[in-house]
Amino acid sequence: MPTPAHETKELPRVDDIVIGMGVTSTGNFTTGGAVCIDGVLKEGDIQALTLSISRGGEFHGRASARFVEIFGTLNGEVIATEQIILRASAVVTGKVSAPYITMHRGASVTGEVVTLERKT
């Protein structure tokens, strides 16, 4: 017997969102999946499982994710609940916060790097 609609729990969406090369966008994005920025996202507000800013990609705004990997440009604030990786090509202006932060030789940070309390 099927479960009545009012008794079913809606599962959180796990869509991946891609801002493609050559695309410039603005807006808020919330997903249980990944957000990949290959183009430009301005005035953004992101909540996702993972955030990736590719080489040549730009993100201007605020983001919260479990894992963040930056190859491109970040102008704003990013908080990760697990880890942030700043690759050699990363250019960060603003604030990054996470329990674990890895910065490769060549990455540029102008602003704040905050190590959050680690889970035991």
Each residue's pLDDT tens digit, 52-87: 999 999 999 999 999 999 999 999 999 999 999 999
pTM for this structure?
0.86
Phi-psi region of 106 (alpha: psi -120 to 50; beta: other; left: phi over 0): left
Burial of residue 77 (number of CB atoms within 10 Å: 0-12, 13-18, 19+): middle
**What pLDDT score does 118 carry?**
86
Predicted pLDDT at 119? 79
Structure confidence by residue, pLDDT tens digits, 66-75: 999 999 999 9
Please check the confidence at residue 47 and state whether its pLDDT lies above 80.
yes
Token code pair at residue 106: 């060549």
Q: How many residues appear in the chain?
A: 120
* Structure confidence at residue 109 as a pLDDT band (50, 70, 90): very high
Domain ranges across the chain = 14-107
